[in-house]
Amino acid sequence: MLTLHIGNKNYSSWSMRPWVLMTQAGIPFKEVVLRFDSFDPDSQFKRSAEALSPSGTVPVLVDDGLVVWDSLSIAEYLAERFPQHGLWPATAPERALARSATAAMHSGFGALRSHFPMNIEASLPDVGARVLREQPAVVADLQRLQALWESLLARHDGTLLFDRFSIADAFFAPVVMRLQTYAVPVTARVADYLRAVQALPGVQAWVEAALAEHDFRPFEEPYRQAPAAG
């Protein structure tokens, strides 16, 4: 059986992508969580991650001794390993568009990622409003993101980016959760897309597990203080 090594579900946006992809597609796998204690070289997390792959990060997929790291590489491997699941769209032009959108999320939107870290358990609308007032680069990222989604949704006239669930939707799932956490205003069509992604059983399963963790990690919490003991 495939084994997927991931980080804390509340915080690990990179881990969320292949986990949601495999769960939503019905690909069986074993989950191993490497708890975030810190990202320092001598932390338990870093030692465990470095023992798995050269990247020293998660997610990492292990398939009968083969080790695949990086969320996009894992998604491409799964698409080839399980062609029956149609993880990319069926036609070459649509696959090209889906790969372009996925790569844009994988490598871009740095300001949004930096100022809106994934934190599924939190509700931070005041932080969201402040960041949008003070950080024009985040506003620019959000404009580009919504324009991308709008163009794909209009092209396919559906609630998901390519009519049916694909790798692209799995890759955008973490930013969907970010927009909810920080109460970011979006267009009506994008709001429909956010609801459609959040309604996916694979996303709901991840969110349910994230909410059950109750594992506050101070280095992942730039906007909140640790809860009082007791």
Q: Tell me the two tokens of residue 58.
A: 């998660």
Q: For residue range 122-144, list pLDDT tens digits in order.
A: 999 999 999 999 999 999 999 99
40 DSSP 8-state letter? S
Query: What is the second-level CATH architecture of the domain 2-85?
Result: 3-Layer(aba) Sandwich (3.40)
Taking residues 41-64, report their average pLDDT.
93
**pLDDT given for residue 229 in this prediction:** 64
Q: pLDDT band at 197, cuts 50/70/90?
A: very high
Same fold, 2-85 and 92-206: no
Q: pLDDT band at 226, cuts 50/70/90?
A: confident
What are the extents of the domains in the chain?
2-85, 92-206
> What percentage of the chain reaches a pLDDT higher than 70?
99
Q: For residue range 3-12, list pLDDT tens digits in order.
A: 999 999 999 9
Neighbouring CB atoms inside 10 A of 40's CB total: 10
Q: What is the pTM of this model?
A: 0.96
Q: pLDDT band at 230, cuts 50/70/90?
A: low
Annotation: CATH topology of 92-206: Glutathione S-transferase Yfyf (Class Pi); Chain A, domain 2 (1.20.1050)
Question: Regarding beta strands 2-6 and 29-33, do their DSSP bridges make them parallel or antiparallel, or are they unpaired?
Answer: parallel
